[in-house]
Amino acid sequence: GENVEQHPSTLSVQEGDSAVIKCTYSDSASNYFPWYKQELGKRPQLIIDIRSNVGEKKDQRIAVTLNKTAKHFSLHITETQPEDSAVYFCAASHGFQKLVFGTGTRLLVSP
C-alpha cells in the first residue's frame, strides 16, 4: 500500500520568510496530492491540492510542486505570517484507494 513520509517534523521561520515542507510517496500509481492545515484545536482543512497531470499549482502565497519521477511533492509558503502557524499534513492516493496522510509538520512563524 501507499506510504507517505513528510519532513521536517517541525519548522521555525521568521515572519516574511519562506517555508518549504516536503513529502515523498511510495505508490507510483498515486495521482492526487492534497495538503491540509490544522490550527490548534481545530479540524484539518484542505488548503491546496494537485493532481499528477500538473507539475505546479499556486494559490496566492501557497504553492505545491510535484515531481512524479522522484515521487515527491512539496508545499511552499511565501511571505509567511503568524497566522500561518499550524500543523500541515500532506497526503496521497489514487482512484478508489483511501487517502494516506503524512505525519505532519508543525510550522511556527515568529513575528
Helix, strand, coil fractions of the chain, as percent rounded to 5? 5, 55, 40
- Decide if residue 81 touches other proteins (CB under 8 A): no
Q: Report the residue from 42, 56, 58, 81 that binds other proteins according to the rule CB under 8 A.
A: 42
Which listed range, 17-25, 39-47, 60-68, 69-77, lies at the site for other proteins (CB under 8 A)?
39-47
Asked if 26 and 71 count as a contact pair (C-beta separation under 8 A), the reply is: yes
* Interface residue with other proteins, options 32, 57, 63, 71 (CB under 8 A): 32
Closest CB 73 distance from other proteins, rounded Å: 14
CA distances from 78 to 13, 14, 20, 88 (A): 11, 11, 9, 15
Helix H segments across 22-86? none
- Of 34, 51, 31, 20, nearest to 89 by C-alpha is 34
Binding-site string for other proteins from residue 86 to residue 105, where x marks contact by CB under 8 A and - marks none:
---x---xxxxxxx-xxxx-
Q: List interacting residues with other proteins (CB under 8 A).
A: 31-32, 34, 42-46, 49, 51, 89, 93-99, 101-104
